[in-house]
Structure 1
């Protein structure tokens, strides 16, 4: 897929309105050569979709247009229901990649069917000239239109949080399915109706793609103002959607873009080098919680950025929302799968580290624990763990050994995972280490001290044996962490162990983790 960068978007709301008005006028003009459709094409592309579109639907007014086709309102001849139809011209599919893009978009819409904040997919049809994608009709307009209609192009914090919560739910659902939207921007979110409290619906999955565990996208796609730093570095994944939502949130709250320049290259430099400005009006009057939320989404290092599910647990978004809306976090499932592959010493070290984190800091993990603990018994059973891990669709078919994961996390060997055990296996280490280096250092020292019983600055084999209660040789536990091979563990070695992968956890040459290890 090619990029879809557009940098001619003006900086002011008035100019934005003029640009969008011109775009609609262009869209309203008839298609050139629309009578023949696929004229001049040597062969007709076949998709295998149903071919009775005209018998099923009556096409109405034009709603908009894109690179390969137009979107119309239509009416179901049988039920009378109104729908939206994306009509894609086969004549413009002169390259195999264009055909694959259409097939992938239909596949994605089918996979996401039923989510309350994603435009509903009904069916796909074709004839010799066109492909027709029939979807839910959203008549409330684009999110961008509503932003521009607001006073000073700003939302109130309360209203912004409602909008952002819905976007995050879309991202979290996509990521659980191994899918990245890759073009989250206000133009790609529609309101179901013109009502002020209308639900928001994500649309246009034309740039979206599935991604395998451990892989990264190497191409640059998206819209310039919303593109994440790692996309520009050609190493992006699900985290890029969260960055884009952070940019949208910034705009909702202050009416300006966080990264602005007159040229595309200038925008990219801003994204890569500069931080958003929280000093200009109206930011001094915006709540600390809202600013903290935006800052945690616009973290340039994707590993330190909040995940979509984590962001849903943030107090600013969570207020007024239902905790049951928070889906299982794909990164939490990943961390549990990784925990089983860590050395015994690292597992003990993570448990010690977990004891240094306070209740407020664990709010997102408590939401995750509650989401997995279906019967609300206060512990996770093997069946509940199996149910949670099955939600991570890219890994579901790889047969994770749920019992092995439970046994690794279950430190008191009662066959269940309580919250304390859960935290040790699911901590977001890179976020902790990179968002507050001073606090990270204090945490590591506190965790280290639980092993360093005599306080001499080293963990010895005897101290490790006393802490763990293990019998027999303790040398295998020391081996991985003891970098200088002096038979003991220093604080720096301990800190490095917490932040690095175990040797058994290094990526395969293909970059995909070995599923057999799960």
Structure 2
């Protein structure tokens, strides 16, 4: 729907040690935004003014001051609220240039997004939208500390200290996590789209420019290619992207903050794309040998090419490197944790038991992010999650908004000891990030599967039989055992091998799960 927002490959230079003057010159050479030449030609044609339904008393409310910047469709000014005296920023968009429905749709969507995100400490505050016969006016918080890009260029060797970088990255991740909970993907996270509130060193960072952002429905993927070349995720180039692409972009920014260079670079845009799709970032050149192993681990986990194995924004906030000095209470609920709990209820009974066995193989350190999530949901800090706390957590994932009996069904599926509550052990079994575990450390994954398998394979002969399932009394299996084996017993020999057990853990229940378009066939995993 909206083509790639192209930027010349030299936008920030081959490395970030380019002078600020060069960066400013490059910024002025930004190519046309989505819409292209057809839109430019149409802009000159006369068209009836579009009505947005916004308030029409802008001039009576605000006194416009100096120009702050400009783009394809309008200008941004500083302004003063005549009543309160507050200074604000005003984005003025020319209606005469909105000659195509997509341009009108873009403005309406950006205002809708700003309204939805209103109140978040790291997102530029939206005041109101106005219009007259000639323009749309979007009134926002005034940020006078400049772009993150300019701060990077002003640093010695164009790089941040680890401590300062972690503070910046934590704020970006909080923005991404908030967007994703609301079913929104930013789609253009880069240093130019983050502003500092003031010129102070400890000024808060604010996300801005949601012009490429869009809402995404659960289970769906974006099929278009948008963003900025250096920060675009592999799955965007493959036309199958979702919220994970924002995390990749933050990984690229983190790499830049720490070493002053881009992780993927080439002289041409196509060359950059090939680097993104094929190559891994370089952690051997200076200054990487002197950067902490924790920082490198963090960046590597954000720049995983498979989006299903990449950390989520909320998971990344629990990483020791970015969390150091941060408050755990700031960590938002993770959309992937809520998704996993909704899926758990759809799994076969045997797969649920298999996941509980797998959960028992994971140590406390590896569960740090899930402990943060459990604590975020366990509001009264009782050590268990009640149905009300579960309902409250699930309601935060706005595209899903589960209520009533559905929440009770989820609680009952996770609650293995049937006490009406979910304790941490039960929570872990339902929320494990299986694809990350399997792909980030395949050797350890194999050992985990073997350990979980052995809890059922009582005689150690390499197979789980109906008799062995009957003997595992604590699982609560009742009635006929054979139907429980059917899903995992791929070769239909009446027993489950280790290979079949591993596939069961990696795949969703074929009989219970819908297969949304864009989701690969689980049998192929």
1:323 is matched with which residue?
328
Task: Call closer, same or farther: CA 1:3–1:406 in 2, change over 3 Å.
Answer: farther
For residues 421-476 of structure 1, the C-alpha deviation after alignment (integer angstroms, 9 at most, x for no partner) is 00000000000000000000000000000000000000010111226242321011
C-alpha separation in 1, matches of 2:285 and 2:14: 32
1:243 is displaced (CA, Å) by: 0.1
Displacement of 1:501 = 1.1
Q: Which residue of 2 aligns with 1:485?
A: 492
Q: 1:92 to 1:55 in 2, by over 3 A?
A: same
Paired residues of 2:377 and 2:390 also in contact (CA < 8 A): yes
Query: Could you tell me how far 1:25 is from its partner in structure 2?
Result: 19
Q: Check 1:20–1:156 CA distance in 2 against 1; reply closer, same or farther (3 A cut).
A: farther
Residue 507 of structure 1 and its aligned partner are, at CA, apart by 3.3
Output one character per residue of 1:243-262: Cα deviation in whole Å (capped at 9) or x when no partner.
Answer: 00000000000000000011
**2:43 and 2:99 in contact (8 A); partners too:** no
For 2:33 and 2:213, how far apart are their aligned partners in 1? 28
Taking structure 2 as the reference length, what is the TM-score of the superposition?
0.91
- 8 Å Cα contact 1:507/1:513 also seen in 2: no
Deviates more, 1:245-254 or 1:14-23: 14-23
178 and 13 in structure 1: CA distance in 2 versus 1, 3 angstrom threshold:
same
Distance 1:515 1:209, change over 3 A: farther
Query: Distance between the aligned counterparts of 1:248 and 1:513, measured in 2?
Result: 30
Q: Is the 8 Å Cα contact of residues 4 and 221 (structure 1) preserved in structure 2?
A: no
Q: Take 1:514 and 1:417, find their aligned partners in 2: how far apart are those partners?
A: 31
Whether the 8 Å CA contact 1:3–1:222 is kept in 2: the answer is: no
Q: Following superposition of structure 1 onto structure 2, how do residues 322-401 of structure 1 map, counting pairs within 5 Å?
A: 322-396=327-401, 401=406
C-alpha displacement of 1:134:
0.2
The alpha-carbon deviation at position 144 of structure 1 amounts to 0.2
The answer on whether the counterparts of 1:3 and 1:220 sit within 8 Å (CA) in structure 2 is no
Number of residues of Structure 1 aligned to a counterpart in Structure 2: 510
- CA distance 1:315–1:162, shift in 2 (3 Å): same
The alignment's C-alpha RMSD in Å is 4.5
Q: Deviations over 1:249-280 (max 9, x none)?
A: 00000000000011000000000000000000
**Structure 1: segments with no counterpart, 5+ residues:** none
Runs of 4+ residues deviating >4 angstroms:
1-6, 11-32, 37-40, 397-400, 508-518
Deviations 1:208-263 (A, max 9, x none): 00000000000000000000000000000000000000000000000000000110
- Stretches of structure 2 that go unaligned for 5 or more consecutive residues are 1-11
TM score, norm. by length of structure 1 = 0.92
CA distance in 2, matches of 1:60, 1:29: 32
1:82-131 deviations in Å (ceiling 9; x for gaps): 00000111111110000000000000000000000000000000011110
Do the aligned partners of 2:47 and 2:99 also contact (CA within 8 Å) in 1? no
CA contact (8 A) 1:309 1:328 kept: yes
Asked if 1 retains the 8 angstrom alpha-carbon contact of 2:333 and 2:376, the reply is yes
Residues 382, 416 of structure 1: 8 Å contact kept:
yes
Kept in 1, the 8 Å contact 2:127–2:140? The answer is yes
Say which SS state the counterpart of residue 43 (structure 2) adopts: coil
Moved more, 417-426 or 85-94: 85-94
Separation in structure 1 between the aligned mates of residue 38 and residue 150 of structure 2, nearest angstrom: 24
* Residues 20, 153 of structure 2: 8 Å contact kept: no
Q: CA deviation at 1:69?
A: 1.1
